[in-house]
Structure 1
Amino acid sequence: MNDESREPFKRLFFALGCGAELRRDIGQWRGALRLRSGRPVPAENFHLTLMFLGAVDIARIADLCTAAGNVRTPGKRVTVVLDRLDVWRRAGVLVLGAEEAPAALLRLVYELEQAMLPFGVQDKPKEYRPHLTLARDYWAPVPESPTAPEFFLRAERFTLFESHKGRYRALAEWPLIAAQ
């Protein structure tokens, strides 16, 4: 039996994943920022969080997945334009955010939040701000960028991820596009 199977809880979150090409492009763009502060997030971990669940009892994951599978989705691919570099001072993170959140994304987040209410995973409501974390423990000002960010995250599914020792593993995913 490995250590992971003895853990009664898993750290979970719902997110839109990034394709390999987008991860590479954002990683290269971040490299051009020449950051002198913070810990860069590995490019393979790039994602756009929809909802952070925190520590979830492993016995509840199947029910949580059933509820997520019943979420009303947009019925189409969701495209998020990541076009704003920002520092979230309270969290100490450098983020690539969206100047404008698409309505389909906001509806998906709302539907997920509603579906997760019975599980008690959302303790206090807060405004959803779509973002991709570039660096943690970042306390410097917003860095100068040689080129303005404009990345298009196009998602056809949303995913339940587990965070374990700095690595993210997909546990389940659901299509955003209705089956034909």
Structure 2
Amino acid sequence: MRSFIGLDLSANNKLALAEWREKALPSVSAKRPEGLLPNQKSPPVSVPPENYHITLAFLGDITPRQHDELLSILDELTAEPFDIELDTTGYWDGPKILFAAPFSPEKPLMKLAKEIRKAARASGIPVESREYRPHVTLVRKATSEVPAPLLPPSLKLHCQDFHFFESVSTPSGVRYPIRHSWSLEPNISVRERLRRGLL
């Protein structure tokens, strides 16, 4: 099972980010290219809004045992809700993607990603050790020739849960169905949770 742990965006946030992308990157088509010649380079392709997410830990292909062990560990993980401000963009030449990201990632986000990677390693899943850089991929097969966005994004995300996503290839492209979810809970007393109706 090819999978990752990540944050989903609300439907409204996905639509808002897609609208910003259309304004800021008018030269990038939202349609998948068809009928390319053998030697013709594939043009940049916009990621469908329904696929927008922030990866916390890429797991790759994992076994059922690793899957069950990881879910068991993550069931015990506690973390508070937090906000993320998508206010900058970037380009990575290796994977050839253009992305939106927080200029200064919030500490709760970075801590959550660290704890999830620790849980993955404890489950026997090798995860990359390079510095974690949260982002939402907007364009794939991008090159340095893709013009910079005309304006920066300005979108606040409120994160109240995180998810186990499966990566599924379909005839119309890859999809990321959510297979399991965990709530992020405020670090407050049981009495206060009862008062707020959280229990």
**TM-score, with structure 1 as normaliser:** 0.87
CA distance in 2, matches of 1:145, 1:87: 11
Contact in 2 for aligned 1:72/1:111 (Cα 8 Å): no
Q: Does 1:13 align with 2:13?
A: no
Look up the SS of the partner of 2:62 in the other structure.
strand
Name which of 113, 124, 144 aligns with 1:109: 113
Deviations 1:85-118 (A, max 9, x none): 1111111000101100100011111111111112
Q: Which has the higher strand share?
A: 1
Structure 2 equivalent of residue 4 of structure 1: none
CA distance in 1, matches of 2:168, 2:45: 17
User: Given residue 99 of structure 1, which amino acid in structure 2 is its aligned partner?
Assistant: F
Structure 1 equivalent of residue 58 of structure 2: 52
The within-5 A match list for 1:78-89 is: 78-89=82-93
User: Given residue 63 of structure 1, which amino acid in structure 2 is its aligned partner?
Assistant: E
Q: Percent identity?
A: 28
CA distance in 2, matches of 1:147, 1:89: 21
User: Given residue 114 of structure 1, which amino acid in structure 2 is its aligned partner?
Assistant: K
Contact in 1 for aligned 2:9/2:157 (Cα 8 Å): yes
Contact in 1 for aligned 2:69/2:123 (Cα 8 Å): no
Gaps of 5+ in 2: 29-42, 187-197
The within-5 A match list for 1:51-70 is: 51-70=57-76
**TM-score, with structure 2 as normaliser:** 0.79
Contact in 1 for aligned 2:3/2:165 (Cα 8 Å): yes
Gaps of 5+ in 1: 1-9
The within-5 A match list for 1:1-180 is: 10-32=1-23, 33-36=25-28, 37-73=43-79, 75=80, 77-141=81-145, 143-165=147-169, 166-178=174-186, 180=199
